[in-house]
Amino acid sequence: MNTVNTVKKFAAEFMGTMVMMFIGTATAISVNTMLSANGVGVPMGFSVAATALAFGIGVTAMYYCFWHISGAHLNPAVSFGLMLSGKLDPLSFAVYVVAQLGGGIAGAGLVAAVIGTRETLFSSGYDTMSTFGLTMWQAVIVDAVLSFALVMVYLNVSGKDDMTKPAGIIYGLTFAAVYLVEIPFTGGSSNPAKSVGAAIWQTNGDPLSQLWVFVAAPLLGAAIAAVVNMLLSYEPKQKEEKKEQEENKEIPEAQEDSEIREEEDGSADI
């Protein structure tokens, strides 16, 4: 592994995840605080939409900044899916995850420093920490399904020649769509870096006791996405046709070589 490239990738994933986390978390808190301070009731739909859009825009911006360096995963679940797909080696995966978790913690820490409180930092949760009071297993299902969708999108748009320009927009919009659905249920996860960063700093509730769910569920969704994507991408017929073409190509070449040798033998007899 090239040390310089590894450092660059680490820095890209750290900074990208940190900025994404800062933008999304700061928006979630500031929208509610600003409207409440002016005596305006905050419609839940507006708060959810603003937060989801902020995270989506943050992801899109950081993708275009750092894709050429690290791929701009910005999410351990995405990196896990890529590793299982054979597109990322285990050592690089470890480097990415450390960078992403560090970025998530730094981003949430910066928000806490700016607003001057750690009471609420948009952490993920279920039961009393969920608007709908989801059980643990319901939270696992929601997070795994949405993580599956997010990772599937990344696997099929990032790095593809015909998707180079729109890939970041598609990835960001998918993240926003996932959060539009997930925020009311669990506070938004599908990204262990986001969940870890918020849980580390937040003092309201007990997000650390529920954190394992929002680390395990996204990884489960990513694993399923990797397997499904490999199965859907498998094309045995094309492989057989390619093999037949190669064999057919070798036969004329062998015949041509035989004819040349016969001609040479005939010339030698004369």
Side chain identity, residue 218: P
267 and 137 both lie in a single domain: no
The pLDDT score that the predictor gives to residue 190 is 94
CB 73 within 8 A of CB 82: yes
Query: Alpha carbon of 65 to those of 32, 146, 164, 190, 246: distances in Å?
Result: 29, 25, 13, 22, 42
Rounded Cα–Cα distance for residues 150 and 52 (Å)? 14
Phi (first) and psi of residue 212, to 5 degrees: -60, -35
Nearest in space to 192 (alpha carbons), one of 243, 123, 113, 246:
123
The pLDDT score that the predictor gives to residue 238 is 59
Rounded Cα–Cα distance for residues 177 and 147 (Å)? 11
215 and 269 both lie in a single domain: no
Structure tokens at 119: 């009471």
8 and 62 both lie in a single domain: yes
Rounded Cα–Cα distance for residues 216 and 218 (Å)? 6
3-state secondary structure of 240: helix
Neighbours of 224 (CB within 10 A): 18
The pLDDT score that the predictor gives to residue 166 is 92
139 and 242 both lie in a single domain: no
Rounded Cα–Cα distance for residues 195 and 108 (Å)? 10
In the chain, which residues have pLDDT < 70?
A: 1, 35-42, 237-270
212 and 180 both lie in a single domain: yes
225 and 245 both lie in a single domain: no
Name the DSSP letter for residue 71: -
CB 178 within 8 A of CB 148: no
Rounded Cα–Cα distance for residues 159 and 85 (Å)? 14
152 and 87 both lie in a single domain: yes
Nearest in space to 122 (alpha carbons), one of 47, 200, 25, 214:
25
State how many domains the chain has. Answer: 2
The pLDDT score that the predictor gives to residue 33 is 77
34 and 130 both lie in a single domain: yes
266 and 219 both lie in a single domain: no
Domain harbouring 33, CATH code: 1.20.1080.10
The pLDDT score that the predictor gives to residue 37 is 67
The pLDDT score that the predictor gives to residue 234 is 84
Q: Please state the length of the chain.
A: 270
Side chain identity, residue 95: V
Tell me which residue range forms the domain holding 58.
3-233
250 and 170 both lie in a single domain: no
270 and 200 both lie in a single domain: no
173 and 264 both lie in a single domain: no
Label residue 252 exposed, middle or buried (CB < 10 Å: 0-12, 13-18, 19+): exposed
The pLDDT score that the predictor gives to residue 244 is 64
